[in-house]
Structures are given as C-alpha cells and as structure tokens.
Chains A and B, each alone.
Chain A
Amino acid sequence: MMDSVSSSSATVADKSVKRMQICRAEYRVIGRFVEQLRPTRQCMKTLQTQFPHLPPSTLLSIFSQEYQKRMKRSMARHHAPDVIKEYYQRYRSEAKTRPAAPLLLELANQVDLSPALLARLIVECFLEERQASVASRHVLNNMLREPYLIPDLLLAKHVEQCTVNDCCYGPLVDCIKHAIGLEHEDLLRDKLRETNLSFLDENQLRAKGYDKTPDIILEVPIAVDGHIVHWIESKASFGDDHSHHTYLNEQFWSYCNRFGPGLVIYWYGFVSELDCQRDRGILLRDGFPSDIVTLCQGPARGRV
C-alpha cells in the first residue's frame, strides 16, 4: 500500500514522461484485465507489468475505481444476513484451528470481497454477538481505524491485516485518498502562485456566500489551448466515464452555470474521449497546463 502511495507522488513529477490520457478502447482493455485482480500490492505489481507504459498511480486509480464498482455490484450478495453469518462462522471456526494464518485476507480473496469491507462485516457481527445489539457506527469505525480497540486480540490482528493490505477500501486508504486530494490542491495553488496567477480558493469563496465552490476561481481569467478558464477543479484520480459523469452533474456543470468556462485537472489522467465539452466550458487536463495565455498587461497588444 505504501508503495503505491509513494509511487503515486513520484509520478506527479514524471508524468510528462508517461502518457495519462487513455482512449476508451484501451480503458476497456484495462477494465477487463483488472476484473480478475484483488486489491493487494501483488496484484498491483501484475497490473504494472501488464501496462508498463502507464504510470502506477494511474493504474492504481483505475483499478480502485473499477474495484469499487465491482464491490458495489456484489454488495447485495455479500451483505445478505445469512451470507454475513456464514462468513463469520467460517472465520470463527478457522480462528480456532489456525489462528496464525491471514484468515480474513484469505476469506476475502476467496469470496472476492474487499478485505477491509469483510473485516468491517466481521467486526460488526462480533460486536453484535458480544453486546447483543447493533454497534454504533462510530464505535465500529473507531475499531477499524484502531483495531486494538477490539476486545478480541486475534480478531484485531486479522482486521489490521485486512485494512493495511487493502489498497482500495479501509480507513487507511480513505486517509491516503484524502491526503492525496489535499496534496494536489496544494500543488495546484503552488503552481498558480509560481505562474503569478491570483485566485480565490474554496474557503474564501464560501466565506463570500457562493453556493457552489470549485477549488479555485481565478481573479483574472486565463486561456488554455484557446479556451477561457475561470475556475479550476483539481481531481486526484483518474477520470473514467462513471466518475466523470457524476462529477459533471454534481459539480462541473454547476461551476459552469455560475462562473463560466473552466478547467478540470485529473492528475492521474482521464479517458480522452471525455474531453468533449470544451466548447461548452469544461476543459480537461492531466496536469497543470504549461501553455497558459494570460491577459497581457499594458497596452502593448493594442493596435495591430
């Protein structure tokens, strides 16, 4: 897991080397390939060897999103009460016979469920069993975050194995994702300052009472690739069809409807066909643009 994180921050620097815009056809190939993968670092290695021309962080992001879709699809199957009960019983019985083995990880692998999600189900069952009541969400989250709060030490160890080895779910991944997001917003602000562009950030906007706030609003608009940019939204993920459409409806169109055309940076790349709303005011990039045109200062440009 930490591997992927460090590698992801490394790719921010060398993204110019590796292409991050993927056509839809290629994306489908990757999508099919990751169907068989589990959210482990070994699988990530496999993925990287399969698509060596893509940055590891891009691959991780793609896998993570595809995997989440997969989990959502199979949610009902895993969350049926009898299924949960069965998983719990299986864990219980195996914990007696071979407690040292990575029981929950194995089970997760077997039934193709995210280890962190499985751990959550098991802890839930455990608490229910002990307290004979439904555990509060808060308690549950705390236990997942800090497994040694779980009264059963063996279970705590297995839960920890799960949350640490799952590169798609779990408190650790949530934390990492959040951090990456902030990191890139910060990166964006640094780049803007480097380029001497003055802007208002989300917090300043909220203070002014805006109802929808992109990460950045430029005080003086710029042009990228011939398109006017009023606002910039930073997305530390890969822009696939699903996530992009969600973002469009929830965020990007709203920004457009309030501030005019803008720029979305998918730091980990995007499906190239999605960049089709440029004329409608949404421009996609996979990094901070180097071809910014600003409003020239001074009257120099005045006459032909």
Chain B
Amino acid sequence: SQTLTHGPTTPAKTPSTSRSVRTQDFSDRRGNKSTPIQTSRSAKAQQHRGRRRSGGFGGCASGRQTGPRGAVSEEGVRWDGGGRRSRGVGRIEPVSPPTQVQLNFNNLEDFPPVGAAQSPPVATKPSRRINPTPVSAERPNSKPKSCFISTPLSLPASPPAIPESAGAKLTAGSPHSLQEERELLRKERYVWAVIFSLNNIPVSMMMNLICLLSIYVHADVLEKAYLGNVHNCVYFSVRVLENQFELVSHLDKCTLRLLSENERVGTFSSSLKDHLAQAQENCTAKVSIIPFQPATDNRSNFSSDRAFHTFKKQRDVFYGFLREWEDSHKEPGWDFEAALGSRVRMMVSQLTAAGSHSHFARLFQKQLIQMCKGPCVLGSSSDAPDADLLGMLGADSLGRLKRLQQRLVQPQGLIGPCPPPSFPGHQEFFKCFLQTASCCQLNQHLKDGLCQQLLKLDEVSILGPDASPARGEETGDGDMEQQVRRFSSVLLTARLLAKFLGFISFLPYQTSELPSRDIQDTAITLRSKSSPVLDVCAVLRSSVHRRRTILTVPWIVEFLSMLDHIGPLLPFYRTALCLLLQIYKRMLLGRGGELCYMNQLLMVAVLGWLFQIPIFPEDLFFSTDLKEEVKELENITSSQGLDTLPLVDQQLLYTCCPYLGEFRKLLAAFVAGSTSKSGGLIRKITPTSAELRGPSTSRSQQKLQVDLEQAFFHNQPPSLRRTVEFVAERVGSNCVKHIKATLVLELVKGGEKTLRDSLGLEGVNTAKLNDSICAQLCDAGMQALETATRFCSENAPGAVRVLLPLETSPSVLTTAESITTRLATEKACSWLSANITTLLKREWKSAFGRVMKSVPSSVRLSAGSSCVSDCTHKVPLGSEVMIEIKSDHKPCCLMFQEVLSVAVGPRSEEEAYTVHQIESLLYRVGQTLGCRKKTDYLFLIRQLIERGLLGEEEVGTNWPKFKTLRFEAGILTNHFLMAFLVCSCRSL
C-alpha cells in the first residue's frame, strides 16, 4: 500500500549518521525481525533482502529523515508503526491460526491494529489522529525521554497518514477481554524472545534490549499508542525480560537494582523481581610517562649524535604538547590544530631530519598504551573481601576515581546503544596528534609497531603455568582470577592498538561523504591490488580454529570499525566482515555452546555494535558467504582454547561496551521521573561511607605505600617487574596448595579424632557435635592466614633473589623481595580468607560422612534430646517393629526398605501390604521414634534420602525442624510419617 512506502526504508548508511538515521536503522531492523518465526531461514532472508531493496536500498535520505520523526512527537509518543507490527505478530502466533500465510508487510490487512486482530473491519475502528512532529534536527537539545523513544520506539516509520491503531478509545471499547489481550501479548513476547535468542537476524541484541527497556520505562506514554494500556506495555516487556533473564542478569548491579526496585516489575512478575534481586546478590561487580631505559634509549641505539640529541629534545617537546593539551583542550574554542598544529609539524619535521621516527613511534605507542588502556594495577585483587576498602584507597583508587570523575564530569548524554566509534579521553590527543602531524614516515613506523605488538598480544598465553584449561574445572588457588586480570589487560591493550592501527591505515582514504558509484568502483579496483596492512582474515580464521575468538574478535572489531567508506567493499575486508558475521550467526547466547556466557555476551555485544555502525554494508547481513567455511573451521577446532574459559568479567564487558551503560541511564531516567521537566537526567551518585578502618592518616599511608611500590618499578627494567609478579604469583599459588595439603588435612584429621572420641560418649547429639566441630575447624582455619604469611616470607625472597641478576643493587633487591613477599602473601591470604571456610566445611563434611559410616550403628543411635514426655522407654525396638510385620530379623532401616521394595514392585500377590499393615507399621514406627533412646530418626531419614527414596527437597523444609525438635511425639511422628508416606505413596 502506498502508506508503507516510507516504512521499511533501508538505512543505507551515509557518512553523516545523525541520530535520526540511527533511529531509523534500528526501527527498521526491528521491524524486520518479527518475521523469522514462520518462515524458513532462507525464505526469511530472502524476504528481508527483498524488503530492504524495495525500501530503497540506495538510501532515500528524505524518507529516513522524516520517517522516524513522524513516529514521534514531543508531547508523547505515537507509535504509529507499532500497530502494524503487532498485527503481524497477532497473525503469526504459532499456536492458534491453523493456516499460516506468507506475510505481506505492505498489506494493511495482514497487519491490522491490535484491536483489530480478532475483529476484522479496520475501518470501523475509530482512528486516532496523530500529527507527526519532526524530531531531531529541530530539536537539537533533544531531551532524554524523547531520545529514548526516538531511538527504540519508532518502528519502521509508517507514514503519518496511517490510521492509528489501538488508540485510547479503542482500548476503552476494546472487544478483548483482559484475558485475550494477555494471551496475545504472551504470544508476542514469546515471539520476541525467540527472535532474541537467535543471532541470525540483522539486529543488534543491544538494540533489542534497549528497545524493550524503553517500552517498559515509557509504558505510560506509549499507553495510548499501541499496546492499549500501560499494563499491557509493562506486561509485554516484563515477560520478554523474564524470558531473557539470563542475559539481563549479566548486566551490572545498578541496572539490576533499578529494575528490581521498579514497582511495575513487582506487580507484573514477582518471580522476575525475585530473580533480579537474586541476580543482584550474585553480582560481583568486580599521566604517567614512559621511563628512559638505557637499554633502548641511550646513545648506542641511535645512528648519530645528532639523532640522539634531537630525540632528546623531541621527547620533551612531545610531553610539553601533552601537558598543554591536558591543560587546555576542555576550554571552549580550543582547537588542536590551531593551538599546536604548527609546533607539532615542526617537531615531526625535525624527527624526519634526524631520522629518528622509529624511536618516536615507539615512545608514542608506549605512551598511548600507558594513558589509554585503562587502569590495571599490579597485585590488586579487586574481589578479595577487603578489596572494597583497599580498593577505595589503594591500588584501585585511581580507576575508581576516574570512573567517578567521568560520571561527574562527562555529560551524561545518551549516546544510544550503538554510538559511532570514538576516541575518548586521552585517545583524542593521540588521534589529533597523528592527524595534525600528518607524517607518512611516522605513520609507517607506527603501523609496523602496532602490527607487531597486536600479533604478539593475539598470541599471548593467558593461562598460568599449571592452569588446566579444561572447561568447568576449577583452577582454584586464585589462578583464575589472575588469568581474568591478565586477559582483561591484554584485550584492552589489543583493542586500543587495533583502533589506532585501523585509524592510521584507513586515514588516507577517509572521505566525509560516500563517494559516488563510479568513484567507488575505481577505488575498489585500485585498492584491491595492494596488500592490506594486516591479514585480519588469516588472524580470524586462526582464532576460530584455535578457539581464541574471545581475544581476537573484539580487537578485530575495533580495527574494522575504523574502515573508510570504500574499505568494506574491498574483497579482502568484505571477507573479514563476512567471517565476523558468520561467527556471530553461529553463536547462540546461552545455547550450550563452547563459549562461556560472559564471553559470548561480550562477543555478541561488540559484533552487534560493529554491524550497526555506519560503515557496515548491510547487504552483507544476508550473505551466506563463508558460512560453510566457518562451520568447518569450528568443527576442526582444537579442543582447548581461551573461548572455553570464563575470562570476561562484568567490568571488562562494560569497559569494552560502554553502550551497555545505556540500560542504567534509561532506568535512572525512570527513577528520576519526568526528566524533561528537570531538563535532563539526574545523576545519581550515592555517597557511600566506606567502612574505613583506622585513622585517615594510616589509610593515606597505605595508599602511599601502594603508590611507592608502583613507582619502584617505574625506572627499573621491565624484566624486574615481570620477575616479581611471576614469583609472587607462583609462591602465592604454591602457598595455597601447601596449606590445603597440610593445614587443612591436619585440621580435618583432628576433627575426625574428636568426633570419634565424642561418639563413644553417652548422650552425644551427633548433629550438634558435627556443628561444633565444624565451627572449631573454621576458627582454626583462620590460622591459615598466619601460616600463609609465614610461608610467603620464607619462600618468596629466595626465589626472587635467584632470578634477579647478581649485579642488582642491594636496596633494589631488598625492595623487590619485600614486594614479592607482600604480593604473594596478599594473593594467598585473599584466596584463603575467601575460601578456607568453604574448603574446610567441604572437607569436613566428607570426613564426617566417612566417620559416620565407619562407626557401628549402635554408637550412632544416640539421642541428645529427651524422649517424649510420657515415654516409658518400653516401646519396641525398630527391629521388633519389623518382627511384627514380617517374621524375620532385620535392622530397622531394612524394614523400610523392604516395605518400600514391595511397594515399588515387582511383587507377588502375597507380598502386598494392606493399608492396615502399613498403618500399623507406621504407628509402631511413630512410637519407636518417639523414644529418643531407641533410634535415630534422623538417620532413618538420611538413609531414605541417600537411597534416593525420599527427595531431599521433600524433607528440606522440614529438616531444620527434624533436627531441633523438642520431641512432642506427635509432631515428630507426623513429620516423619509424612515424609515416609510421601515416599511410599510415590512408590505405590
């Protein structure tokens, strides 16, 4: 129909991607994705392609500009397109309509309004008139609320003229019962959830989530637009969120809190609320200079005195620029080119004259990493129990303060879920420097250096010396933590370097606008002849093969995000993008793939981002090139690799994908209420009083010590630091192993002895005994810290001493030894204090079980508590009960087993028990159990559980009562009988 010609416009990417274009992109894709359910993959792809084409693949800019705007108005959102989509969904619900029709998005009848889904005549529905108001250009200071809405909510912009579906009046006179609407929504969210889980669609997962949350947050404004009323909106999004809970649960704590505290969630799904609360619990939200190193920087490294002395000056000049930039780049009107341009070029020309580009390139690259990689501090264990304290003031404080500062200082603009590539923070300096210097020699040297280091990082070994890469196996001893840190550091560095390598490599080809077709073809022909700076395809293939995609893919994404307009059209880069796309498509979040969930999430997030930024040619989405190849590659992978290790933590995820923070902002906006009135988001920074121990002076002293330690390595050769870190890591790890093998073992042995001794005594309550011994062991376990400290002080210094050069000066050696000792101790102690109790409990539990099994049952039949009040101790023994039923002697527990075995069958006629018999038995049992002297009722139940006859969960809720009950015979008997009956009945 004519009305829909604007609708699925394809956002052919133009260089100047304004928000509105983005918006369109998004909504367009979302529009597309409601199809996959009913069509086969290929057919679907076909259809998408078709749609895209028909929508004006070449890019109908005007359509795109007006499209989304038409969908949104300042006063409230009119979700024009929504109706259409819902209609579609309404029709394709997989259950009820027996005949599936090929959807025609251009057919209004295929997509009647929600209200119309079951009551055909659209025309009879009162339509809502919406006057579309253009959004972006006219509203330069677009307010957050509308930002959100404009991004995710404007569906494939149906033209303004489309009759509004499901309007308010419609809702009022809605033919649906609540039940029906719910049903409809239930199906729809199911559809969406399915869509979600399949990456096989041209939509970034993040877009989806943002969109959902937007629906959710802005439910009230949407009310009249689409889903009929606020409840439906919320119901819909809450349910989808519920279906996608695992994904949601990996978001940061703050987002989760905001979600779970949201009253709407509670109202509509208390289980989601509970899950969210639980997820929160689980959430473990875990300018300096390059020193002169004689080995690389002294005269012997230069070809001439002149080069040496020129470089001496250049180093100072470079840092001068950096300081000047730091001081003034935030001032209004300051411009890099204007302020530093000529001086930068002068400096670079002097470098050229002296031929010392390689030295400068090295300094530049090192400084770049130093300043832009993000804080990564030696020996900081951010998730140790004390880390909050130490972190606040110690090693981590820099990073934390930086993050806080960023929250305070940076405009909390809503960047949207797919911001264009950017150079945040100090990266801007380096980028501007390169742009301004515009020096081909420097760039070439930089490219060489960046390539070399990137490939080195890509190959780097993350695994510790003795870590087992087997999936699921706990590496323990804190090794994993070390690996996660190391991985994070490597990955962040690689991403940074890759971005700059991409920047320099594609800089010569950058144009502000997409060149015309002719120019494109010429350029493609021309550029296809020369070899690319880095063989990304080979690197990618190798990474798939060796299961290292979690490291390789994120940096390749950064590299490719810098592509110029022509770049993606070159066969080489097209192949690379196709490879990435196939990797993406083959990766299903949480579908038991080889990757760990967080690893997958990171990959999906970065890849989704890449596919969404302007340079990505969208026709590629439907390409099946290389599909087979990737499949094959994946099939012949080596069995071990980084992909199977849980290397990505939440902090890394958010560092790599800052756009994930959009969720938080969105929800914060909700909390802040009507933000448009206050003129923007309220920045909520809750001052937390850290539970600081000791006076502030000692705290700052401690921080100073950490700083001093960092400073110590600064002017020492890098090998010193590596040695210290390595030795500390190993000694700490060995220390833990040693303590496990000695202290823990001894403690548990001691506990066993106590247990055996005590069991011999009259009137011992084994349960209490168990608890008290366990508590004793845990107390004693604390001495592990002391032992660890001693172990590390004894072993670390010697190890470092042997590994450092003999010529090391005594003071350096002593310092290195003490730092190693401290790091090793810290590592061991933080692991131990977090895990020793659990470890001891586990060991003790098995020891206890062992002892209990080996001890004769007579000993076990102890009763700590008193018998029932009127107990005469004359009740029959367990075995006697047995005799009454069957005339052979068997221990009490066997009696039950026998009854049960008969109950379960197979049994002969005569074996069957009558109800009377069982009742009688149970009565006897009850009597027997009432007398604490006679039997250990706990033991019976335990036996039942152990034999799998009684579900632990069935006893579960009653277990504490069993253990602590003061024995009113009735209660006990009832509980026990209940359990027993449950068990028996199940079998019968």
A residues at B contact (CB < 8 Å): 197-198, 208-212, 217, 219-223, 226, 228, 230, 253-254, 256-261, 280, 293-299, 301-304
B715 engages A217 (CB within 8 Å): yes
A221-B708, A221-B714 known; 9 new pairs, CB 8 Å cut-off, are A198-B812, A208-B298, A211-B292, A211-B298, A223-B708, A228-B707, A295-B708, A297-B815, A302-B822
B693 beta carbon closer than 8 Å to chain A: yes
Closest chain A CB from B615 CB (angstroms): 38
Q: Which residues of A contact B300 (CB under 8 A)?
A: 209
In the docked arrangement, what's the CA distance between A198 and B818, Å? 16
Q: Which residues of A contact B702 (CB under 8 A)?
A: 301, 304
B708 engages A293 (CB within 8 Å): yes
Q: Which residues of B contact A261 (CB under 8 A)?
A: 711
A260 engages B288 (CB within 8 Å): yes
A302 engages B825 (CB within 8 Å): yes
Within 8 A of A (CB), among B284-302: 288-289, 291-292, 294, 297-300
Report B959-980 CB contacts with A as 1/0, cut-off 8 Å: 0000000000000000000000
B704 engages A298 (CB within 8 Å): no
Closest chain A CB from B257 CB (angstroms): 28
Closest chain B CB from A192 CB (angstroms): 11
B749 beta carbon closer than 8 Å to chain A: no
B390 engages A257 (CB within 8 Å): no
Which interface residue of B297, B389, B700, B711 has the most chain A CB atoms within 10 A? B711
Q: Which residues of A contact B704 (CB under 8 A)?
A: 223, 226, 293
Closest chain A CB from B808 CB (angstroms): 10
B319 engages A260 (CB within 8 Å): no
Closest chain B CB from A254 CB (angstroms): 5
Nearest to B792 among chain A residues (CB) is: A299
In the docked arrangement, what's the CA distance between A253 and B320, Å? 8
Mark the stretch among B308-316, B577-585, B617-625, B740-748 that contacts chain A. Answer: B308-316
Closest chain A CB from B821 CB (angstroms): 4
What are 18 of the A-B contact pairs (CB < 8 Å)? A198-B810, A198-B812, A209-B298, A209-B299, A211-B298, A211-B308, A212-B292, A220-B815, A223-B704, A230-B714, A254-B316, A257-B289, A257-B315, A257-B319, A293-B701, A295-B819, A297-B818, A302-B829
In the docked arrangement, what's the CA distance between A209 and B700, Å? 37
B886 beta carbon closer than 8 Å to chain A: no
Closest chain B CB from A256 CB (angstroms): 7
A295 engages B709 (CB within 8 Å): yes
With A219-B812, A304-B693 known as contacts, the answer to whether A295 contacts B825 (CB < 8 A) is: no
Within 8 A of A (CB), among B682-735: 693-694, 700-702, 704-705, 707-709, 711-712, 714-715
With A211-B297, A221-B711, A299-B792 known as contacts, the answer to whether A226 contacts B700 (CB < 8 A) is: yes
Q: Which residues of B contact A197 (CB under 8 A)?
A: 811
Q: Which residues of A contact B389 (CB under 8 A)?
A: 304
Nearest to A217 among chain B residues (CB) is: B715
Nearest to A277 among chain B residues (CB) is: B323
Q: Which residues of A contact B715 (CB under 8 A)?
A: 217, 221, 230, 259-260
In the docked arrangement, what's the CA distance between A198 and B323, Å? 31
B335 beta carbon closer than 8 Å to chain A: no
Within 8 A of A (CB), among B256-313: 288-289, 291-292, 294, 297-300, 308-309, 311-312
Which of A220, A256, A299 lies in contact with B825, CB distance below 8 A?
A299
In the docked arrangement, what's the CA distance between A211 and B701, Å? 34
Which of B694, B705, B812, B829 lies in contact with A296, CB distance below 8 A?
B705
Which of B291, B700, B785 lies in contact with A260, CB distance below 8 A?
B291
Closest chain B CB from A77 CB (angstroms): 34
Q: Which residues of A contact B707 (CB under 8 A)?
A: 223, 228
Closest chain A CB from B294 CB (angstroms): 5
B818 engages A296 (CB within 8 Å): yes
In the docked arrangement, what's the CA distance between A226 and B793, Å? 28
Closest chain B CB from A289 CB (angstroms): 14
Closest chain B CB from A155 CB (angstroms): 43
B17 beta carbon closer than 8 Å to chain A: no
In the docked arrangement, what's the CA distance between A67 and B116, Å? 96
In the docked arrangement, what's the CA distance between A302 and B785, Å? 12
In the docked arrangement, what's the CA distance between A283 and B707, Å? 16
B793 engages A299 (CB within 8 Å): yes
B459 beta carbon closer than 8 Å to chain A: no
Report B803-843 CB contacts with A as 1/0, cut-off 8 Å: 00000011110110011011001100100000000000000
Closest chain B CB from A283 CB (angstroms): 13
Closest chain A CB from B845 CB (angstroms): 29
B residues at A contact (CB < 8 Å): 288-289, 291-292, 294, 297-300, 308-309, 311-312, 315-316, 319-320, 323, 386, 389-390, 693-694, 700-702, 704-705, 707-709, 711-712, 714-715, 785, 789, 792-793, 809-812, 814-815, 818-819, 821-822, 825-826, 829
Closest chain A CB from B964 CB (angstroms): 38
A299 engages B821 (CB within 8 Å): yes
In the docked arrangement, what's the CA distance between A293 and B711, Å? 13
In the docked arrangement, what's the CA distance between A222 and B311, Å? 29
Closest chain A CB from B980 CB (angstroms): 52
B297 engages A295 (CB within 8 Å): no
Closest chain A CB from B828 CB (angstroms): 10
Which interface residue of A212, A257, A296, A304 has the most chain B CB atoms within 10 A? A257
A258 engages B705 (CB within 8 Å): no
Which interface residue of B292, B297, B312, B810 has the most chain A CB atoms within 10 A? B292
A298 engages B298 (CB within 8 Å): no
B811 engages A220 (CB within 8 Å): yes
Q: Which residues of A contact B320 (CB under 8 A)?
A: 253
Closest chain A CB from B490 CB (angstroms): 25
Q: Which residues of B contact A303 (CB under 8 A)?
A: 386, 785, 789, 825-826, 829
Which of B289, B298, B299, B821 lies in contact with A256, CB distance below 8 A?
B289
In the docked arrangement, what's the CA distance between A223 and B386, Å? 25
Closest chain B CB from A29 CB (angstroms): 31
Nearest to A250 among chain B residues (CB) is: B316
Nearest to B703 among chain A residues (CB) is: A226
Q: Which residues of A contact B693 (CB under 8 A)?
A: 304
In the docked arrangement, what's the CA distance between A297 and B797, Å? 12
Q: Which residues of B contact A299 (CB under 8 A)?
A: 789, 792-793, 818, 821-822, 825
In the docked arrangement, what's the CA distance between A70 and B693, Å? 58
Q: Which residues of A contact B789 (CB under 8 A)?
A: 299, 302-303
With A220-B815, A221-B712, A293-B708 known as contacts, the answer to whether A258 contacts B289 (CB < 8 A) is: yes
In the docked arrangement, what's the CA distance between A99 and B821, Å? 79
Closest chain B CB from A170 CB (angstroms): 33
In the docked arrangement, what's the CA distance between A228 and B707, Å? 7
Which interface residue of A294, A295, A297 has the most chain B CB atoms within 10 A? A295
In the docked arrangement, what's the CA distance between A55 and B705, Å? 36
Q: Which residues of A contact B294 (CB under 8 A)?
A: 208-210
Q: Which residues of B contact A304 (CB under 8 A)?
A: 386, 389-390, 693-694, 702
Which of B289, B311, B315, B822 lies in contact with A301, CB distance below 8 A?
B822
Nearest to A253 among chain B residues (CB) is: B316
In the docked arrangement, what's the CA distance between A144 and B466, Å? 76
Q: Which residues of A contact B712 (CB under 8 A)?
A: 220-221, 295
In the docked arrangement, what's the CA distance between A220 and B312, Å? 25
Q: Which residues of A contact B288 (CB under 8 A)?
A: 260
Nearest to A280 among chain B residues (CB) is: B323
In the docked arrangement, what's the CA distance between A258 and B314, Å? 12
Nearest to B323 among chain A residues (CB) is: A280
Q: Which residues of A contact B826 (CB under 8 A)?
A: 302-303
Nearest to A211 among chain B residues (CB) is: B312
Closest chain B CB from A85 CB (angstroms): 42
With A211-B308, A303-B825 known as contacts, the answer to whether A253 contacts B298 (CB < 8 A) is: no
Q: Which residues of A contact B705 (CB under 8 A)?
A: 293, 295-296, 301
Nearest to B713 among chain A residues (CB) is: A221
Closest chain A CB from B380 CB (angstroms): 13
Nearest to B808 among chain A residues (CB) is: A219
With A208-B294, A211-B308, A259-B292 known as contacts, the answer to whether A228 contacts B708 (CB < 8 A) is: yes
Q: Which residues of A contact B694 (CB under 8 A)?
A: 304
Closest chain B CB from A43 CB (angstroms): 39
